């Protein structure tokens, strides 16, 4: 916006670039009109459907449909209805948006995942649409909620998210009917009634001009088609021009003529009155990911300062071009009804190269913010601190908590930015940097497990770019990451397929790390599938590569993995031979902890093999190495194992002494003799070890 006061067709702009305040500030806190529609919708909740009349049980929750074109207040009506009936649904209100402002359909799996997250049921990474829909229905089975599905693209989207319980209510918003869903009677919206339309104008412009000339206000409402979005733009235009009469605007719009929709006419007038700099920022907002804007996004798109962008965005709210988002951070939304108009302007008034440059600036700004977001968590790294201090102040976060809050709030827009960058196809270098920084920031602030669903989607995008650009090394990395996430969520066969594909990509890239990692992961997948012979074979292939490259630490670890596969298969001689090799490797590396663990596992295998005396001696040696390694938990676990062995050998007194020693090491929180973990810490690996012991 201009830095000094200017006059634009009678509009006064303050010295800071802000439009002057009006007598009554625009607000959406008080709902206007739609009394008839609300009454009909509320009555429809208890109406007997066709299934009930036919004596059949209704197949799903009652669905209320609010239909109409964007810009006619569909979502506002839905929110008001939800507000009025919410008390009857004690488990709360859930919301999901099924179409992005740019018209992109939201996949059902994404919507279901978000709803499950709101319910406190995080879904496993990579789960498909059917699994997530079923999980959502189960989560809602014993709840009484209102589910608001905004901007549904079609009946299939809504049907996949419907609760089976009749105790819940679904309010769907759509442009047309939802054919295929039973017992749905649409409430179709047109314009507001005249009284409500005039009241909305008054709210935007202030009461004086409307009060002194109510007929002109009614005429303006008619010219605007009583459409709320058009009325807000008209009201914002008038609010910026206190000297202009309502009748003048009504006449000007009538003079436009033509058969175009009222919203397009009002938008054209409002846009034409903007200063050049503001007009350019507005049309570039068509590029905002998911229609979500903050000062940094606007600054990156337009190449202006963050402060100027913030001022301009606030002005756009006053003018009706943007909706403020209820958020601790300044955030705005481009109304879906304006998105096509903005995109048309951007394409007609900006050269393709300029649009691409604006996208690149926005993505580069996002990358730098993500770098800053991650760097502030690395408080012990002098390099990270130096890098952070080298960034402009406007890109720095005051604290790790502030960075995490920004990341959480901006998460939908950041994920959308990654998807758009990949879909663009011409900004792959920036897209790869963005996704790399997004993964690192999410892991730093949320942890790998909590961020896994988002990470899965990002890694799939990385794979898309790598395949498009024929980058085998990055293909291998993405496939390995996806395989790991599949493995963690129990989709072992899918993980195995990913790992094999990663191995092929790693070989094409001549990348020894990727091939070795892939071979070891293939072995791990076979072990999980209880194909221990193949597991040991693949571990052996990975070991041969590590030995050839003299990677001793990895080699020692792989000897242990081979030994574990042989243990599961009951080949205890082979298991002991490989554990001895692992022990030798740890000794050469002077790895005291590794020696203690290898000896511990050798003692376990000797016990499985029916050689308790050898197991006792090995376990005693392991205790000494665990003491040297200062591994109290392993010491305690080994003391318990010694106690168990001594009891089997007929020496209960000595067994009691070892149990006392274990208790002294860890107090009352005794570890499991098999795993070295307390009951609260035992995970799936502990179950695996116990099951192997039980089988043998």
Q: Which is it for strands 332-333 and 146-152: parallel, antiparallel or unpaired?
A: unpaired
Bridge partners for 172 per DSSP:
65, 149
For residue 172, give the H/E element and its range: strand 169-174
Render the burial of 653-664: b for 16+ CB within 10 Å, e for the rest.
ebbeebbebbee
Q: How confident is the model at residue 273 (pLDDT cuts 50, 70, 90)?
A: very high
Residue 6 pLDDT more than 80? no
- Note the helical H segments in 425-491: 428-446, 448-468, 472-488
Write the secondary structure of 341-397 as one string of H (helix), E (strand) and C (coil). Answer: HHHHHHHHHCCHHHHHHHHHHHHHHHHHHHHHHHHCCCCCCHHHHHHHHCCCHHHCC
> Among 199-203, 232-236, 632-636, 678-682, where is mean pLDDT lowest?
678-682
Question: Residue 258 has what pLDDT?
Answer: 67
- Average pLDDT of the chain? 87
Residues 6+ apart with CB under 8 A from 514: 473, 476, 477, 480, 502, 503, 505, 506
Residue 341 structure tokens: 């108009």
List, for residues 14-32, the tens digit of each pLDDT value. Answer: 333 444 333 333 334 478 8
Cβ(223)–Cβ(254) below 8 Å:
yes
Cβ(622)–Cβ(653) below 8 Å:
no
d(CA 526, CA 537): 10
Residue 647 CA: distances (Å) to CA of 231, 638, 657, 680 = 86, 14, 11, 26
Question: Residue 693 has what pLDDT?
Answer: 34
At which residue do the structure tokens 């901007």 appear? 151
Instruction: Tell me what percent of the residues of the chain surpass a pLDDT of 90.
Output: 69
- pTM of the prediction? 0.82
User: Phi first, then psi: what are they for 505, rounded to 5°?
Assistant: -65, -40
Looking at residue 677, the DSSP 8-state letter turns out to be -
Cβ(355)–Cβ(293) below 8 Å:
no
Residue 235 pLDDT more than 90? yes
**323 three-class SS:** strand
Residues 6+ apart with CB under 8 A from 48: none
Question: Residue 48 has what pLDDT?
Answer: 59
Task: Look at residues 524, 543, 544 and name the one whose alpha carbon lies nearest to residue 534.
Answer: 524
Residues 6+ apart with CB under 8 A from 134: none
Question: Residue 646 has what pLDDT?
Answer: 87
Q: How confident is the model at residue 575 (pLDDT cuts 50, 70, 90)?
A: very high
At which residue do the structure tokens 């200017």 appear? 6
Residue 147 pLDDT more than 70? yes
CA dihedral 627→629→630→631, nearest 10 degrees, is -90
Residue 11 pLDDT more than 70? no
- Note the helical H segments in 529-591: 532-548, 552-569, 572-588
Residue 579 structure tokens: 């554990």
> Among 58-67, 212-221, 391-400, 600-609, where is mean pLDDT lowest?
58-67
Which residue did the predictor score with more confidence, 49 or 201? 201
Looking at residue 12, the DSSP 8-state letter turns out to be E
List, for residues 334-374, the tens digit of each pLDDT value. Answer: 999 999 999 999 999 999 999 999 999 999 999 999 999 99
Question: Residue 651 has what pLDDT?
Answer: 86
d(CA 66, CA 173): 5
d(CA 694, CA 696): 5
List, for residues 86-113, the tens digit of each pLDDT value. Answer: 999 999 999 999 998 778 889 999 999 9
Question: Residue 311 has what pLDDT?
Answer: 96
d(CA 200, CA 478): 52
Q: How confident is the model at residue 178 (pLDDT cuts 50, 70, 90)?
A: confident
Question: Residue 58 has what pLDDT?
Answer: 57
Positive or negative, the CA dihedral 133, 137, 138, 140 is positive
386-395 long-range contacts, CB within 8 A, separation 24+: 394/306, 395/368, 395/369
List, for residues 456-505, the tens digit of each pLDDT value. Answer: 999 999 999 999 999 999 999 999 999 999 999 889 999 999 999 999 99
For residue 149, give the H/E element and its range: strand 146-152
Residue 687 pLDDT more than 50? no
Residues composing the chain: 696
Residue 683 pLDDT more than 70? no
Residues 6+ apart with CB under 8 A from 212: none
Q: How confident is the model at residue 446 (pLDDT cuts 50, 70, 90)?
A: very high
Q: How confident is the model at residue 57 (pLDDT cuts 50, 70, 90)?
A: low
Listing DSSP states for 175-227 in one string gives SS--TTSTT--EEE--PPPHHHHHHHHHHHH-HHHHHH-HHHHHHHHHHTTT-
Residue 53 pLDDT more than 50? no
List, for residues 621-649, the tens digit of each pLDDT value. Answer: 999 999 999 988 888 888 888 888 888 88
Render the burial of 345-370: b for 16+ CB within 10 Å, e for the rest.
bbeeebeeeebeebbbbbbebbbbbb
Residue 124 structure tokens: 């496993």
Residue 369 structure tokens: 């913010």
Which residue did the predictor score with more confidence, 386 or 232? 232
Listing DSSP states for 393-438 in one string gives GGG--SSHHHHHHHHHHHHHHHHHHHHHHHHHSS-HHHHHHHHHHH
At which residue do the structure tokens 């979005």 appear? 229
């Amino acid at each position: 916006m201009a830095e000094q006061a200017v006059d634009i067709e009678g509009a006064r702009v303050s010295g800071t670039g802000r439009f002057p305040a009006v007598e009554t500030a625009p607000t959406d806190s008080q709902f206007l009109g739609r009394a008839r529609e609300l009454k009909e919708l509320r009555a429809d909740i208890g109406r007997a459907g066709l299934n009930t009349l036919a004596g059949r049980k209704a197949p799903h929750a009652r669905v209320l449909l609010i239909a109409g074109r964007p810009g006619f207040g569909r979502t506002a009506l839905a929110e008001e209805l939800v507000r009025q009936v919410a008390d009857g649904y004690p488990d709360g209100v859930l919301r999901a948006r099924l179409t992005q402002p740019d018209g992109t359909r939201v996949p059902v799996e994404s919507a279901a995942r978000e709803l499950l997250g709101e319910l406190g049921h995080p879904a496993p990474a990579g789960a498909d649409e059917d699994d997530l829909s079923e999980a959502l229905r189960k989560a809602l089975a014993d709840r009484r909620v209102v589910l608001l599905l905004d901007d549904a693209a079609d009946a299939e989207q809504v049907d996949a998210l419907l609760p089976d319980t009749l105790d819940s209510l679904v309010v769907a918003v759509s442009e047309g009917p939802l054919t295929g869903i039973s017992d749905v009677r649409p409430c179709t919206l047109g314009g507001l009634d005249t009284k409500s339309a005039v009241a909305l104008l008054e709210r935007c412009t202030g009461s004086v001009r409307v009060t002194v000339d109510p007929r002109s206000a009614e005429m303006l409402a008619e010219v605007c088609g009583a459409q709320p979005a058009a009325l807000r733009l008209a009201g914002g235009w008038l609010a910026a021009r206190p000297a202009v009469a309502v009748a003048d605007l009504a006449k000007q719009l009538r003079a436009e003529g033509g058969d175009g929709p009222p919203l397009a006419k009002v938008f054209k007038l409002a846009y034409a009155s903007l200063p050049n700099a503001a007009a350019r920022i507005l049309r570039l907002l068509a590029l905002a990911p998911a229609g979500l804007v903050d000062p940094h996004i606007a600054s990156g798109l337009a190449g202006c300062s963050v402060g100027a962008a913030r001022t301009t965005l606030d002005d756009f709210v006053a003018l009706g071009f943007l909706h403020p988002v209820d958020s601790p951070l300044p955030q705005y939304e481009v109304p879906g009804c304006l998105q096509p108009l903005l995109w048309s302007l951007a394409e007609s008034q900006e050269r393709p190269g300029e649009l691409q440059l604006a996208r690149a600036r926005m993505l580069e700004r996002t990358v730098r913010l993500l770098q800053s977001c991650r760097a502030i968590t690395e408080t012990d790294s002098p390099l990270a601190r130096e890098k952070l201090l080298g960034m402009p102040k406007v890109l720095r976060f005051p604290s790790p908590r502030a960075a995490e809050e920004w990341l959480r709030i901006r998460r939908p827009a950041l994920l959308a930015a990654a998807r758009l960058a990949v879909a663009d196809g011409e900004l792959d270098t920036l897209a790869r940097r963005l996704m790399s920084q997004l993964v690192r920031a999410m892991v730093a602030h949320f942890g790998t497990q909590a961020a896994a669903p988002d990470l899965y989607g990002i890694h799939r995008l990385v794979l898309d770019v790598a395949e498009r650009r024929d980058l085998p090394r990055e293909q291998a990395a993405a496939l390995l990451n996806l395989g790991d996430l599949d493995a963690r969520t129990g989709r072992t066969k899918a993980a195995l397929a990913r790992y094999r594909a990663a191995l092929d990509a790693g070989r094409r890239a001549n990348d020894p790390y990727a091939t070795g990692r892939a071979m070891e992961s293939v072995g791990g997948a076979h072990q999980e599938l209880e194909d221990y012979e193949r597991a040991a074979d693949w571990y052996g292939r990975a070991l041969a590569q590590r030995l050839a490259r003299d990677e001793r630490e990895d080699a020692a670890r792989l000897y242990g993995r081979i030994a574990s596969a042989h243990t599961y298969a009951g080949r205890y001689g082979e298991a002991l031979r490989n554990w001895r090799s692992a022990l030798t490797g740890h000794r050469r590396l002077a790895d005291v902890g590794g020696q203690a663990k290898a000896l511990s596992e050798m003692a376990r295998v000797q016990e499985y093999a029916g050689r308790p005396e050898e197991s006792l001696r090995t376990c005693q040696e392991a205790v000494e190495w665990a003491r040297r390694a200062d591994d109290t938990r392993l010491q305690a676990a080994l003391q318990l194992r010694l106690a168990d062995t001594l009891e089997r050998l007929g020496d209960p007194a000595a067994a009691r002494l070892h149990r006392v020693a274990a208790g002294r090491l860890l107090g009352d929180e005794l570890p499991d003799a098999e795993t070295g973990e307390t009951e609260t810490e035992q995970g799936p690996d502990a179950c695996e070890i116990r099951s192997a012991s039980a089988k043998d």
